[in-house]
């Protein structure tokens, strides 16, 4: 039940986003030149330019999040390794006899 509602909400949000993009493109029919340093595009529709900028920003954010997650996973692996080493050392120290009880 909850999955169905969630799927419906996602589909509704996507349709609403597409509708907003279509209205924006219709309301702004102009074009603009884009220079990206090594290439120049003379007449790009405003809606396409903004959609491309949004997609590039989304991909950059996704890449940053992926790198952060990979770094955290590496740190977690290292901490688990250190914990196993510390537990093994503690176990070996507990098995030693006490000599200072004289």
The pLDDT of residue 21 is 86
Reported pTM: 0.65
**56 band by pLDDT with thresholds 50, 70 and 90:** very high
Q: Is the pLDDT of residue 8 over 90?
A: yes
Q: How confident is the model at residue 44, as a pLDDT?
A: 92
Q: Residue 44: is it exposed, middle or buried by C-beta count within 10 angstroms (0-12/13-18/19+)?
A: middle
Per-residue pLDDT for 101 more than 80? no
Average pLDDT, rounded, for the chain: 91
Q: What is the largest CA-CA distance in the chain?
A: 93
């Amino acid at each position: 039940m909850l999955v169905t509602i969630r799927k419906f909400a996602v589909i509704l949000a996507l349709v609403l986003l597409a509708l907003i993009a279509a209205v924006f493109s219709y309301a702004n029919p102009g074009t603009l030149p884009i220079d990206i340093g090594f290439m120049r595009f003379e007449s790009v529709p405003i809606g396409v330019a903004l959609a491309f900028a949004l997609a590039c920003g989304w991909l950059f954010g996704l890449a940053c999040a992926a790198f952060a997650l990979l770094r955290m996973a590496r740190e977690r692996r290292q901490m688990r390794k250190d914990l196993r080493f510390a537990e093994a050392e503690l176990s070996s120290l507990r098995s030693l006899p006490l000599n200072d009880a004289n």
